[in-house]
Chains A and B, each alone.
Chain A
Amino acid sequence: DQQVKQNSPSLSVQEGRISILNCDYTNSMFDYFLWYKKYPAEGPTFLISISSIKDKNEDGRFTVFLNKSAKHLSLHIVPSQPGDSAVYFCAARPRSGGGADGLTFGKGTHLIIQP
């Protein structure tokens, strides 16, 4: 059973417009959420994170929104640039209680920025 779901395998957005990447989760114990960007043949690159005590976190062109009641989060990229074309992964982990749990990843969304 997938605990973190990215239902759009791909998304095409025009350069300069807003890219919105969505992620749903089922585990109510998840407390900390991260977005990663991945190019082929490279490891994932951390973009932005949010904890469950917040509903929005912003870093430059990237904003993550968290809706806990809907168990949904989204990543907004404004404005979208050609270099943003990559696969984006949503990841989540529970609150650490003495030990740490590994991240649970979604399957990724391939974002394509069109000129």
Chain B
Amino acid sequence: KAGVTQTPRYLIKTRGQQVTLSCSPISGHRSVSWYQQTPGQGLQFLFEYFSETQRNKGNFPGRFSGRQFSNSRSEMNVSTLELGDSALYLCASSQMRAWGETQYFGPGTRLLVL
């Protein structure tokens, strides 16, 4: 099976712009989660989608939003970009195991806001 794929891998934007990142989960996985990784804060949970519905949301402002399509592919949007949004954005899809879910991560999209 192909792993989680994310596009684009690298992105440069300026303050005030908006950006859309894309994630394709592992085939058969219906849950997609998004995380932000920065040197100072580490890996932080943004939100999770399951069957096109947002199931849980982390502590991020409303500028961060997402959606999931019927084929489980997901997009994340950040509007009115700020310098502090520069980070590695990771997408993960989930597989149920006997004792819970395990998340498999994509390579990430590195966003630089100038």
Residues on A lying within 8 angstroms of B by beta carbon are 31-32, 34, 36, 41-46, 49, 51, 53-54, 89, 91, 93, 96, 99-108
Complex interface: chain A residues within 8 A of B105 (CB):
36, 43-46
Q: Knowing A43-B105, A100-B48, A102-B48 touch, does A51 contact B90 (C-beta < 8 A)? A: no
* Cα distance, A41 to B35, chains bound together (Å): 15
Q: Is the CB of B42 within 8 A of A34?
A: no
Q: Is the CB of B107 within 8 A of A42?
A: yes
> Nearest CB to that of A36 among chain B residues?
B105
A sample of 30 cross-chain residue pairs with beta-carbon separation below 8 angstroms, ordered by A number, consists of: A32-B99, A32-B101, A41-B107, A42-B107, A43-B6, A43-B90, A43-B107, A43-B108, A44-B43, A44-B105, A45-B105, A46-B102, A46-B103, A46-B104, A49-B100, A51-B99, A53-B99, A91-B43, A96-B101, A100-B31, A100-B50, A100-B94, A102-B46, A103-B33, A103-B43, A103-B45, A103-B103, A105-B35, A105-B44, A107-B42
> Nearest CB to that of B57 among chain A residues?
A102
Smallest CB-CB A-B distances: 5 pairs: A102-B45, A43-B105, A51-B99, A105-B43, A32-B100
Complex interface: chain B residues within 8 A of A51 (CB):
99-100
Query: Which B93-114 residues have a C-beta within 8 angstroms of A?
Result: 94, 97, 99-108, 110
